[in-house]
């Protein structure tokens, strides 16, 4: 358990940041899920629009420290590849 004032403050701060980061992660997952659902439904236009909305959310997660840069890039790349394949077929 935290003993010093600084350690106690850090515990409080970490709890606040955890809530904020959880909300951000959830928001990112929602955007990604919308793209995946549009791909599964076979709706190319909707998938393309959902991907356009998801990309900035993923990159914002990187700047806020929720995701690693390469993780976000990998997710965007794989989603874009699937959307492109859907549009081609």
> What is the value of pTM for the model shown?
0.88
| Boundaries of every domain in the chain | 5-88
pLDDT digits (tens, 9 = 90+) for 17-64: 999 999 999 999 999 999 999 999 999 999 999 999 999 999 999 999
Minimum mean pLDDT range among 2-6, 33-37, 40-44, 74-78: 2-6
Per-residue confidence band for 2, with pLDDT thresholds at 50, 70 and 90? confident
Neighbours of 58 (CB within 10 A): 21
Q: How far is CA 22 from the centre of its chain?
A: 11
Q: Give the CATH number of domain 5-88.
A: 1.20.58.110
Q: In angstroms, rounded to a whole number, what is the distance separating the alpha carbons of residues 48 and 7?
A: 47
């Amino acid at each position: 358990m935290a003993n010093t004032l600084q350690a106690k403050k850090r515990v409080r701060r970490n709890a606040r940041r955890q809530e904020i980061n959880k909300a951000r992660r959830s928001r990112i997952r929602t955007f990604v899920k919308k793209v995946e659902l549009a791909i599964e439904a076979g709706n190319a236009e909707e998938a393309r629009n959902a991907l356009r909305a998801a990309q900035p959310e993923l990159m914002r997660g990187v700047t806020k420290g929720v995701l690693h840069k390469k993780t976000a890039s990998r997710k965007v790349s794989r989603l874009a590849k699937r959307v492109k394949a859907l549009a081609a077929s």
